[in-house]
């Protein structure tokens, strides 16, 4: 489980496709304190650490299956791309965002980015099958960032990105056409399942 509060922006160092896709991500995390088998949210995708550097050689390797590639933006990643990172939360950690699983529901696309006060107002297009779970003042995780939904119109929804979020995540680089990993609020998913049962 995660909170949607990004704690590092890593960088894709290497990608190798052999059966599954293996991604090496450089990080500022103390990798000596990261266990093999630990979960790290990588731009919102819960991935398992399968190898890592030591000491000041700070990187880790995660493996992505075909299922992950089909439902996320990971297949678009290139060497040098920035990646929002969050370590799994521990019992007793502050829940600063909302409960995020790292199980991506679909890919949303940026439709517009406009200044609004000191913030950026960003409009996204969600896949139709996922859009029904998004509600005004509800929560979404976009590329692993916990955000409040400010508006919903059909399959489009808007969020505001404050300057702090823009500066400590990849969202300072958003522009129309960019695709992001979308995870809807966990409660919305289960309520919909119960209503349709």
Instruction: Judge whether 54 lies within some domain.
Output: yes
Instruction: Provide the residue range defining the domain that includes 76.
Output: 8-87
Whether residue 112 is found in the same domain as residue 80: no
Whether residue 14 is found in the same domain as residue 47: yes
Whether residue 73 is found in the same domain as residue 153: no
Instruction: Judge whether 74 lies within some domain.
Output: yes
d(CA 2, CA 17): 27
Number of domains in the chain: 2
Give this prediction's pTM.
Answer: 0.93
Whether residue 74 is found in the same domain as residue 113: no
Whether residue 16 is found in the same domain as residue 74: yes
Instruction: Judge whether 32 lies within some domain.
Output: yes
| Bridge partner residues of 122 (DSSP) | 113, 159
Summarised one tens digit per residue, pLDDT across range 131-157 is 999 999 999 999 999 999 999 999 999
Token code pair at residue 157: 């929804």
d(CA 58, CA 183): 28
173-176 long-range contacts, CB within 8 A, separation 24+: 173/82, 174/110, 174/113, 174/120, 174/122, 175/110, 175/113, 176/110, 176/111, 176/112, 176/113
Rounded-to-10 torsion of CA 117, 171, 107, 75 = 160
Summarised one tens digit per residue, pLDDT across range 22-75 is 999 999 999 999 999 999 999 999 999 999 999 889 999 999 999 999 999 999
């Amino acid at each position: 489980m995660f909170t949607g509060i990004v704690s590092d922006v890593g960088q894709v160092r290497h990608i190798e496709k052999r059966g599954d896709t293996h991604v090496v991500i450089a990080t500022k995390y103390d990798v000596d304190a990261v266990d093999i088998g630990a979960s790290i949210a990588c731009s919102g995708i819960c991935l398992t650490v399968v190898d890592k550097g030591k000491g000041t050689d700070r990187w880790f390797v995660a493996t992505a299956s075909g299922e992950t590639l089909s439902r996320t933006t990971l297949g678009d990643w290139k060497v040098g791309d920035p990646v929002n990172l969050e370590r799994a939360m521990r019992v007793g950690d502050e829940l600063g965002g909302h409960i995020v699983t790292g199980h991506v529901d679909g890919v949303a696309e940026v439709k517009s980015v406009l200044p609004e006060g000191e913030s950026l107002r960003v409009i996204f297009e969600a896949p139709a099958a996922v859009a029904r779970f998004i509600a005004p003042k509800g929560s979404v995780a976009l590329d692993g960032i916990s955000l409040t939904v400010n508006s919903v119109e059909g399959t489009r929804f808007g969020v505001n990105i404050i300057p702090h979020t823009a500066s400590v995540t990849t969202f300072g680089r958003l522009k129309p056409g960019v695709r992001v990993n979308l995870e809807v609020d966990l409660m919305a998913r289960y309520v919909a399942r119960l209503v349709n049962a």
